[in-house]
Structure formats: structure tokens, C-alpha cells
Structure 1
Amino acid sequence: MELEEIHEKTIEAGKILKTVKEEVKPLVKPGVKLLEVAEFVENRIRELGGEPAFPCNISINSDAAHFTPKKGDTREFNEGDIVKLDIGAHIEGIIADTAITIDLGDNDDLVKASENALKRAIEEIHAGVDTAVIGRVIESEIREFGFRPVVNLTGHGLLPYIAHAPPSILNYGTERGVKLEEGMVIAIEPFATDGAGKVGERGETEIFSLKAIRPVRMKKAKALLKEIEKYKTLPFAKRWLENASDIVIGQLVRAGVLRGYPVLTEIAKGLVSQAEHTVIVEEDGARIVT
């Protein structure tokens, strides 16, 4: 696929996400089920002509990434929650990725820390800029608000059917990174926290992706893999599958066929905010598509 066509489809996917972001915001309120919001996002992306690039991530309070509700989930938003919605759409594998934080409590500064860091980071982008500069700006802005960047979550490149591709764009300052090139499609993704500034895994895993195609003997495993094939290398939710069973999925993970994405949570139980845009790197700036 030519670069021009990739950019066109990225912009198209971005337009879908802009619409979905605005429509979903009023739905995130106390008493509403998380599953209702996730299904709204995913179905709306399809209605608007795209496909979800990954399951709708709804990470609340200390959770930072990789939470999506399970089938039949009855959990609801609560008063005081700080809610991260991370959503992606693709057109024929060409991905746009964006995230917002919706505050149901009293965390204005924490939300602004990641939003302002995103804004300032994008202002630094142009062909030839070193990603180390972007990381320094993100860290500086977050610390200006009195918070810490989450150091082991990053921005990233976007490639066909690959939602997390090089280069990694750190959320803190380093001496040297990678030079951005004109035409690159990247996601800038600051996370701010009042905790320790690092995430670790917790047990819940509802998101998976195909890691390697290997022969499997079990009839149920074969049926499941046939169902998964359409997602190619993109992440999918267990609740999307008709033939999902924890036993079969567990066997496929252990066999190296599937990769699981456990929920990532702040190690000191700090609250986390997130902001993200997909941009196209231009000669003298960045085009925001989401």
C-alpha cells in the first residue's frame, strides 16, 4: 500500500474516532455498565465504516491500560472514578488510536497534566526531531503539575495491522532517542500519576492477539483459531469470540499461539490519567488525525 493511501485511511479512521469520542463522553457516568460503553464504542466504529483496531480499553483509577469488560460484565462506573477510554479504529488494517480521560471525581489537575503534556509534545513534532525531545517535554509538563509520568508506558508507531510498532516514544526525558521521519504515523500517549510512576501486571486478562500460527490438535482449539484469524495480528477481546473457553485460550497462550495482555495498574495504587492522539509527521509539524 502506498504511503499516500495509508495516510488517507489513517485520516478516515481518525474521523471515525473523533465522532465516537464525542458521542461516548455523555455515556460515562455513575451507574452505567462498563460493558455498555465498550460495546457502544466498538459497534459505533463499525457503523461508521471502520473496525475496532483493538477492544475498547476502559481503565479506571489505578488501572492504566488493557482493561476491557468481559462477556456479561455487570461492573459499573462509580462516583469519583477517573476513567481512561483508549479506542482504536482501522480501515483495511490502517490504524488510528486515541485516548481521553473522563473525570467523575475531583481530579482536574491530573487530567490536565496528561492533556497539556500531549498538546506540548505535538507542538515539538516535525521531521527530524529526536523522540528524546518529545519525552523531555512530556515529563516536564507532567511534573509542572506536581505529578509523575508513567515511565514504562510509551507512545508508539502505527503500521498496517500493528497497533504498537517502532518507534517507542518515551514519556520521560533521555539523552537520545530516534529521529522522526516525514510521513511516519505515530501515537503520542502521555500518562500522568500521583503514584510511583510505574505500572505492573495484575491478574485479569481479557485481551489477546495471535502471536504465531502453529498446528493444534484439539477440535475446540482449531475452531477458536478459525474464529481468531480475521483479526490477523490485532488484539481482540475474549467476549468477541463465540467459541472462547478459558481452558482452550490458556492452552493456546502456553503453546505460544496467543499472547495475553494483562491489565496494567499503577504499582503504588496511584490514580492515572491518559491522553492520546494519532499524528502524521510532516516536514514542519504534525497533522493530528484524531
Structure 2
Amino acid sequence: MNDEIYDQYMSAGALAAKVLRRGADMVREGGSILEFVETIEAMVVDEGGQLAFPFNVSLNEDAAHDTAMPGDDRIFSRGDLVKIDLGVHLDGYIADTAMTVDLGDHASLVAASRSALEAAIATVRPGITAGEIGAAIQREIEVRGYRPVSNLTGHGLGRYDLHAGSNIPNVGIVGGAVIEEGMVLAIEPFATTGSGRVAERSRAEIFRQVSTKPARLPSAKRILDVARKSRGLPFARRWVQGDKVDIGLATLLRSQTLQPYPVLHDMPASFVSQAEHTMIVTGDGCVVTTR
């Protein structure tokens, strides 16, 4: 990593942190989820950044990968536990950050994921293993009486690559990748009142192009135009203009041109909290880009 790349990561992180803080203040009972998502995404662009993925808003037992649907009429309700997850990039250098906004009585659960993230950050340094970071996360969550989500992980970041290198587990494992100076990591503990494992819903609003194949349908071509502009990063169904988008998506999914990101959820009536920062590993620790 040279100084120019370091500065790009730091600038992306500062922008992501600024917009996410503004977003947290906008989550209010009765507010439109669609208007909220579109406002935050527009704010990133207006501030000179680009979206690394569609702005995620996941409620209650849903942990990740939810975003507004076209014409979405959902609103925030009293008691909701709202995860907001934002990815910003500058020339492909990504900042990924998330927090949980509590519209109910979930302060302890929110604190569990936040404290686990701080414990992970304090653990990061060259030579430590991903499994040791996961153990620090697990301890902080379990001591508060909750479960870490064991099948969600943090991840390395690369240029135009949201999942570069090794995963960072949310539970202790033996070994795992050895952390090295210069790595860029997004660590994201999830704490839950549920089972500690997430499953896929049937609904997906987020997609990524994973292969290049010809498309005949006009709607499929429009989708691929959006995918190409995303440079291999995920995009949302609502970003595609025109009609018959669902038909185009179905065609591209059948041909395995696109990968879907279904909404991930724990058991019904449970609650999941999330906290996330991006960091650059230094010689004796790390620098958090998204404070």
C-alpha cells in the first residue's frame, strides 16, 4: 500500500462515516424506508463518492442484505431494531461501515455488537489469526447473554472487491488467516437473541454480475448496463429503469450471469444487532478509516 492508496481509503472511510451518522439521525418511527434509502444513496454521490453496494436497511430478525424494493411502502415502526450498512468507494477503494438504530428497548443488544467490534479492533495486529479476532468478538457478545451469528463474517477489502482475501469470523476458531500489515479489513460483529445462525429468505433485491454472457431481452440488457457501471460490485433491482425487470432478472439468474444476495434472517421474533468498521492493518495495530 502506498500513500496515495492509503489516502483514498481514508477519504472513503471519512465520507462513509459522515453519511452513516447522518442516516442514523434520520431513522424515525413512521419514516418511509424507500425515501430513506434513496436519500442516503444520493447523499453519497452528492458528496463525491460512489456506492460500493446498495444501502442496506435490515429490520429486527433480518441481519443483512435487505434494501428498499421498487415502490416499497414499508415504514419504520415502534420497536424496530434497524441495521444500516453503507459501502462507499473512491476510485474502487472501499469503506464498509454499519450501525444499529434502536426504535425499541434493545440497548443491551446494540451494545453487545458495538463492544464486540471495539474488542476486535483492539485485537487486530500483524501476526494474529482471524480465529483469535473471532474469539474476542464471541466473548464480548456471550458475556452479555447473547449469541454471535456464527455464519456471518467480516472480510478483506480490495479495489472494487468487497470480499478480498480472508474472512474474519464472529466466533473463535482454530487458526484462520494470519493478519498482515497493509491488509484492509471490514469487521462486522452480529449479536442475536435468536439461534445464532442466519438463513436465506426467498426475496433478493441485491445482485452482482459474475459472468459475461450475451442477453437478448431488452430488460436483461438494461440490467447488464447497470451491472457494468457497478464494476463488479453489487447493485439493486430498483436501480434498473423500465419495465419487465423481473423477467430480465429471472433470465440472467437462470444463465448464472448474476448472483443474488437474498435477505438473511435469524428465527422469527428474534432481534439482531450489527456494528462494522473498516480498518487498515499497521505495523503495531490498525487505523480505523470509518470512525
Give the structure-1-normalised TM-score.
0.97
Query: Could you tell me how far 1:162 is from its partner in structure 2?
Result: 1.2
Q: Deviations over 1:195-223 (max 9, x none)?
A: 10000001111101111111223343223
Query: Could you tell me how far 1:269 is from its partner in structure 2?
Result: 4.2
> Across the two proteins, how many residue pairs are aligned to each other?
289
The amino acid of 1:272's aligned partner reads V
Contact 2:109 2:192 in 1 (8 A): yes
Distance 2:219 2:69 in 1: 20
Contact 1:3 1:183 in 2 (8 A): no
**What residue number does 2:197 align with?**
198
Distance 1:223 1:118 in 2: 39
**What residue number does 1:58 align with?**
57
**What residue number does 1:279 align with?**
279
Contact 1:125 1:134 in 2 (8 A): yes
The amino acid of 1:133's aligned partner reads E
Distance 2:20 2:227 in 1: 27
Secondary structure of the structure 2 residue equivalent to 1:205: strand
Q: Deviations over 1:111-162 (max 9, x none)?
A: 0000000001100111111111100000010000000000000000011111
The amino acid of 2:62's aligned partner reads D
Contact 2:62 2:266 in 1 (8 A): yes
Query: Could you tell me how far 1:25 is from its partner in structure 2?
Result: 1.6
**What residue number does 2:233 align with?**
234
Distance 2:232 2:2 in 1: 21
1:244-283 superposed matches below 5 A: 245-267=245-267, 269-283=269-283
**What residue number does 1:155 align with?**
154
Query: Could you tell me how far 1:268 is from its partner in structure 2?
Result: 5.2
Distance 2:64 2:195 in 1: 16
Structure 2: stretches of 5+ with no match in the other structure: none
**What residue number does 1:39 align with?**
38
1:8-87 superposed matches below 5 A: 8-87=7-86
Distance 1:118 1:166 in 2: 20
Distance 1:219 1:38 in 2: 27
Distance 2:92 2:38 in 1: 20
**What residue number does 1:7 align with?**
6
Structure 1: stretches of 5+ with no match in the other structure: none
1:172-211 superposed matches below 5 A: 172-211=171-210
Q: Deviations over 1:15-68 (max 9, x none)?
A: 111111221122101000111111121111111110111001000000000000
% identical equivalent positions: 45
Contact 1:84 1:100 in 2 (8 A): yes
Distance 1:141 1:68 in 2: 29
Query: Could you tell me how far 1:164 is from its partner in structure 2?
Result: 1.8
Give the structure-2-normalised TM-score.
0.96
Q: Deviations over 1:157-210 (max 9, x none)?
A: 011111122210000011111111101100010000011000000111110111
Secondary structure of the structure 2 residue equivalent to 1:55: strand
Contact 1:196 1:268 in 2 (8 A): no
